Structure 1
């Protein structure tokens, strides 16, 4: 890690306007949870890393910290999660089973309410029209959904490489939700997360007369699937997943191999799109007494699938 690299990270961080920040992380958590060494934190502060002084304590923004630890590859939880994602893409290379068993569970969001809890599947879990019903309840607050994805690999043809390479030139940067739809920000700074990058890709595709739409759902990252957003391109009457932005990010981070995962390779064998393409943060898998509930998801047959 060099001073120049640290300075570049701070400069990039400051491209996010302060009005989008929530300074809610105290400095002791920066040292312990985000694993930022004290000398590095002092250097960051000297370079102007965003913070607020309040009540005799320094406070930081969670997006800034997660972007920092990703850029400098510190052993913080979010960077370790990114590293673990590589196993999901690697497992896809030798996958033989096209079905995942997704277990979704929930806890009561309002303990002590009168009457019994009434959990149900959210609309995202319900089978699409014409799809086999692979959903069943295993306990009052738990459901298992069989998720079947294509078994064969797909590589887009070279005509789409200019579109894909435009996405790969963007730098992954977690963006506050209120900024995640600002295409001008992505164009001006080159920074984007999966939401903003794929909205920009959609705009580029439409200008190029490429049939494209936004998709969202889960990367089936066993055992804990990841909420995500990508694009789908229409080829031969079928919508096929493409994710050059995130695949390019993972290859630049040396998490997956560009030989195994060129930008033109579809991740459709591990990406499960859900109906309606909601924002990842809005995906409600269950209901409780009729109200949407986020729920937690786990893949239960992953050990079998990697055998």
Structure 2
């Protein structure tokens, strides 16, 4: 039998979790998920869900059941560090990054990508094509299509312990206190919202840092690709600095989040350290929030990516 909610979470903690998501206006909520989804995907059981409702968790009553916004459940679960598959995967990513840096050896992963049909607007069978970066940045000759829409590739992530200099560190500090947050569609590219709330996805601070880097004369570019570690690998955005001809990735919001969640030691992984051991560059300057990794007849194909 699980412990009572009151024995696990202080009321103030639950209130803070709800107050945080209330920074998002109700207009951006779809209320499409039920209590079963909250428990299955985000480890928010019935007792905890009721306690959150008591603190003002937004919901709607539809068809005799309560409905919730997907991103609210995601962000509350992460804030409370519940053992969801997502939080467990983040823990693995932080651990892998730290291990690679500590032992001084690069990490090598086999990625498995499974694409789905991009839509039935095209005629005939699907024609899946990976972005050139998968082959360009993978281990030579490792990209293979094992079946229609299924690809494997070997990725190598370096062991990088670089801490950025004063100028770049001061730039990165502009967003170092922002909280990593899964934003709903209505504010997914809204820099004003993130500035006001200090809640941000990986894209918004990347764009801000790039614009400010240009203003300061710091050579930087937009890196996009994958945040890699077993078992799940996800799309990610970050900023990269040109250091003597090498592009070195930085992600102060991610490192601050890892430290806040107790996944890394802040003294070892400050916001101004490189994240080269966690990200795999595939694209530069992508225009889309959810950029393509595999196309189907030229359209972005829905994709699942695993790593081992």
Q: Normalized against structure 2, the TM-score is what?
A: 0.83
Q: Structure 2: how far apart are the matches of 1:37 and 1:139?
A: 39
Matches for 1:26-65 after TM superposition, within 5 Å: 26-65=34-73
The question of whether the paired residues in 1 share the 8 Å contact of 2:106 and 2:277 is answered with no
Shift of the alpha carbon at 1:59? 0.4
**Local SS of the residue matching 1:216:** strand
Seen in structure 2, the aligned counterparts of structure 1 residues 211 and 178 have a Cα distance that, compared at 3 Å, is farther
- Taking only aligned residues, the RMSD between alpha carbons, in angstroms, comes to 2.9
Match 1:155 to one of 160, 163, 172: 163
Match 1:96 to one of 95, 105, 108: 105
Pair 1:179-2:190 in alignment: no
Aligned to 1:305: none
Instruction: Give deviations 1:95-124, integer Å, cap 9, x for gaps.
Output: 52465443333355679x985554333344
Q: Structure 1: how far apart are the matches of 2:219 and 2:206?
A: 14
Q: Structure 1: how far apart are the matches of 2:156 and 2:71?
A: 34
Pair 1:201-2:218 in alignment: no
Q: Please identify, of 153-162 and 200-209, the stretch whose mean Cα deviation from structure 2 is larger.
A: 200-209
Aligned to 1:4: 12
Seen in structure 2, the aligned counterparts of structure 1 residues 114 and 224 have a Cα distance that, compared at 3 Å, is same
List runs of 5+ in structure 1 lacking aligned partners: 303-307
**Local SS of the residue matching 1:69:** helix
Match 2:245 to one of 237, 251, 259: 237
**Local SS of the residue matching 2:173:** helix
Match 1:298 to one of 269, 283, 306: 306
Match 2:130 to one of 116, 121, 130: 121
**Local SS of the residue matching 1:232:** strand
Instruction: Give deviations 1:170-190, integer Å, cap 9, x for gaps.
Output: 122211233122221111111
Q: Structure 1: how far apart are the matches of 2:230 and 2:281?
A: 16
Aligned to 2:91: 83
Q: Structure 1: how far apart are the matches of 2:68 and 2:296?
A: 34
Q: Structure 1: how far apart are the matches of 2:124 and 2:224?
A: 35
Q: Normalized against structure 1, the TM-score is what?
A: 0.83
Shift of the alpha carbon at 1:231? 0.8
Shift of the alpha carbon at 1:193? 1.7
The question of whether the paired residues in 2 share the 8 Å contact of 1:34 and 1:76 is answered with yes
Q: Please identify, of 167-176 and 86-95, the stretch whose mean Cα deviation from structure 2 is larger.
A: 86-95
The question of whether the paired residues in 2 share the 8 Å contact of 1:105 and 1:296 is answered with yes
The question of whether the paired residues in 1 share the 8 Å contact of 2:118 and 2:302 is answered with no
